[in-house]
Amino acid sequence: MGDARNLQKAGVEIEGRKEEENETEETRRGKENEVKRELVSDCLKCCAEDSDDSMSKVVYSGAILEVCMRKLVFYPELVGFIEEEKDKFPTVRVQYAYNSPPKLIMLDEDGQLKETIRVDNWKREHILHFLKEKVKPSSEI
């Protein structure tokens, strides 16, 4: 009978410990979630939606796609853009420069360089989308 009581007490103690562990686990998870929310909130402070972002409203008068002719074979997406899509953008021209990494040189109304953007890893669709959004159609010039 004494053993049964001891086992019963031990069982109560074990259940109590399990409840404490569960509460501790829940508390730990709650703290982790709070920390995650704080991190995300802190991270998002400097982010803005595209519609509110001042850079999303910037439009250029033209662009130069600069690339090294010798390295062009390593960029089939750029080759495809130049051969098949470039004519859709009359204000964009291709310029070949020895040993130059592929880049878009964005121009203002006076034809002066405003921004340079590396496009080594861009797919054709990305270039098309970017130019449609950022370069004025020729009728506006």
Q: What is the pLDDT of residues 59-88, one digit of tens each?
A: 999 999 999 999 999 999 999 999 999 999
Q: Which ranges in 45-141 belong to alpha helices (H)?
A: 76-80, 124-134
Q: Is the pTM of this model over 0.95?
A: no
pLDDT greater than 50 at residue 20: yes
Instruction: Give the residue extent of every domain in the chain.
Output: 1-47, 54-140
Share of the chain above pLDDT 70, in %: 72
| Mean pLDDT, residues 22-45 taken together | 75
Q: Which residues pair with residue 104 across a beta bridge?
A: 65, 117
Q: Is CATH 3.10.20.30 the right assignment for the domain spanning 54-140?
A: no
- How far is the C-alpha of 112 from the C-alpha of 12, rounded, in Å? 80
Task: Please check whether residue 101 is in contact with residue 118, taking contact to mean a CB–CB distance below 8 angstroms.
Answer: yes
